[in-house]
């Protein structure tokens, strides 16, 4: 899974990476059931990118990361592949 690889490769200590993974899992749990099957991979990678970006800005709180990721996906949903 590309999203997991992105989170695991983030330039943070193992404890912080665990927080990122937890934020990702929580975010996905809240929107996953409503995502169309064709969009799952794109939405997951978007969530992971948003979490890593916000963590890079020093926001290492699981709930804040989850909220930021969900907000990012709502504001900038993945684009349709041609």
DSSP 36: -
Mean pLDDT for the stretch of residues 55-70: 93
Residue 82 has pLDDT above 50, yes or no: no
- Indicate the pTM of the whole model: 0.89
* Residue positions counted in the chain: 82
Where exactly are the structural domains of the chain?
2-75
> 43-80: string of b/e by CB count within 10 Å (b at 16+)?
bbbbbbbbbbebbeeeebebeebbbbbbebbeeeeeee
Per-residue pLDDT at 80 exceeds 70? no
pLDDT reading at 76 higher than 90: no
Q: Provide the pLDDT for residue 79.
A: 66
Residue 68 pLDDT greater than 90, yes or no: yes
């Amino acid at each position: 899974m590309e999203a997991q690889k992105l989170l695991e490769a983030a330039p943070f200590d193992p404890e912080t990476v665990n927080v990122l993974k937890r934020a990702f899992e929580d975010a996905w749990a809240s929107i996953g059931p409503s995502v169309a099957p064709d969009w799952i991979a794109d939405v997951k990678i978007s969530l992971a990118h948003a979490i890593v970006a916000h963590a890079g800005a020093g926001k290492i709180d699981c709930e804040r990361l989850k909220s930021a990721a969900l907000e990012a996906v709502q504001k900038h949903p993945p684009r349709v592949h041609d």
